[in-house]
Each structure stands twice: as structure tokens, then as C-alpha cells.
């Protein structure tokens, strides 16, 4: 893989262009990493605004049409809609798992299949979340199952 870097004061924003014959698994991971690197999210907590790295996020959840970001350190509110977050993290380890929830798969400790076609995921902080039946195929596909 060749890496070309053009440095010039004429550029106002960093732009990454990938030229390839086809996108394979390794390239997908690279793109996913770049997307995550470039996607800090702002969240409000106690009247202050914080910028959170995606890898800090456990999951996003909607309560009364308000979207909250759950991390190991606390809960933050974001103005972004769930579908906007889903689009932003498309192709990364952050995946929609229910009508009101998006989960960071890297924060799952272990999973258990449930009899009714759903999956229970136990997170690294001990919290349990349910992957809805509708989103199970996408989840399994992500894990290569």
C-alpha cells in the first residue's frame, strides 16, 4: 500500500482519498478507524459541553425523544438524532441494535442468545442491553456469524 501525503498551506481541511481496486476487509477496518477518529461527539452534562471520542461511548439511547450518550464516566445528552448517529457511524463498530438504541460492539463483554430470537449483551460495565430481533441479522453479520 502506497501512502501519499501532500502538505500545502493551500489546504484548509485534511482530506483523505483512498484509491483501490475494491474494498476488502482490511480496507474496511482502516476506513472504519478513520471515520471513528474523525467523529467526536458533543454531549451536554450539568450545563457544560463535552467532546467525546466514539471509543468512549458504551451506547446511545433515546428517552422521551431525547438522545443520551452513555459512557463509563456518565451520561451526556446530545442534540443529534439517533438516525444521524447511525449514519455518522455507519461501517464502524457502533451499530443500531434497537428502535431506541445504538451500541458500541467493542464495549460488549459477552453475549447470550435468548429463546425469543433476541440477544442479550452484557457490557464491560456490567450493564445488560437487548439486541432486538429485527437487528440481530445485522449484528451477526458484523461479527461474521
Partner 1 sequence: MKSILMRDFFLGLMISFTLGVLAVALILGIAAGSGTMQLSLIWQVFILSAICSLVNLVYRSEQLKFLWQSLIGYVLTTGAIMGCGNIFGWYDYGGNSYNKSSFLLLSLLGYSLCYLITWMMIWRVNKRRKAAWNSSLAAYKERNRSEG
Residues of the shown chain interacting with partner 1 in the complex, contacts defined by CB under 8 A: 29, 32-33, 36, 54-55, 92-93, 104-108, 110-116, 118-119, 130, 133, 140, 142-145
Rank residues 10 and 143 by Cβ distance to partner 1 and give the closer one: 143
Q: How far apart are CA 47 and CA 124, in angstroms?
A: 28
In this structure, the number of other CB atoms found within 10 A of the CB of residue 16 comes to: 8
Torsion over CA: 92, 130, 83, 22 (sign): positive
Smallest distance from partner 1 to CB 73, Å: 15
Closest separation in Å from C-beta 135 to partner 1? 14
* Closer residue to partner 1 in complex, CB, 80/106: 106
Q: For residues 7 and 143, which CB has a smaller minimum distance to partner 1 in the complex?
A: 143
Nearest approach in angstroms of CB 57 to partner 1 is 10
- Nearest distance from residue 105's CB to partner 1, in Å? 7
Q: Counting every residue, how long is the chain?
A: 145
Contact predicate 56/39, CB 8 Å: no
Cα 133 to Cα 141: distance, rounded to the nearest angstrom = 13
C-alpha cell at 15: 482530506
Q: Which is nearer to partner 1, 40 or 79 (CB)?
A: 40
Amino acid at each position: 500500500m502506497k501512502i501519499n501525503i501532500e502538505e500545502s498551506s493551500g489546504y484548509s481541511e485534511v482530506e483523505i482519498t483512498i484509491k483501490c481496486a475494491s474494498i476488502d476487509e482490511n480496507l474496511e477496518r482502516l476506513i472504519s478507524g478513520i471515520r471513528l477518529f474523525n467523529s467526536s461527539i458533543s454531549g451536554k452534562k450539568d450545563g457544560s459541553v463535552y467532546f467525546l471520542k466514539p471509543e468512549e461511548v458504551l451506547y446511545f439511547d433515546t428517552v422521551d425523544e431525547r438522545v443520551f450518550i452513555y459512557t463509563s464516566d456518565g451520561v451526556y445528552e446530545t442534540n443529534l438524532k439517533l438516525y444521524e448517529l447511525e449514519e455518522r457511524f455507519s461501517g464502524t463498530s457502533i451499530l443500531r441494535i434497537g428502535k431506541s438504541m445504538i451500541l458500541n460492539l467493542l464495549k460488549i463483554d459477552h453475549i447470550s442468545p435468548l429463546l425469543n430470537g433476541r440477544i442479550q449483551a452484557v457490557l464491560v460495565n456490567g450493564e445488560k442491553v437487548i439486541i432486538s430481533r429485527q437487528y440481530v441479522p445485522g449484528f451477526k453479520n458484523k461479527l461474521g456469524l
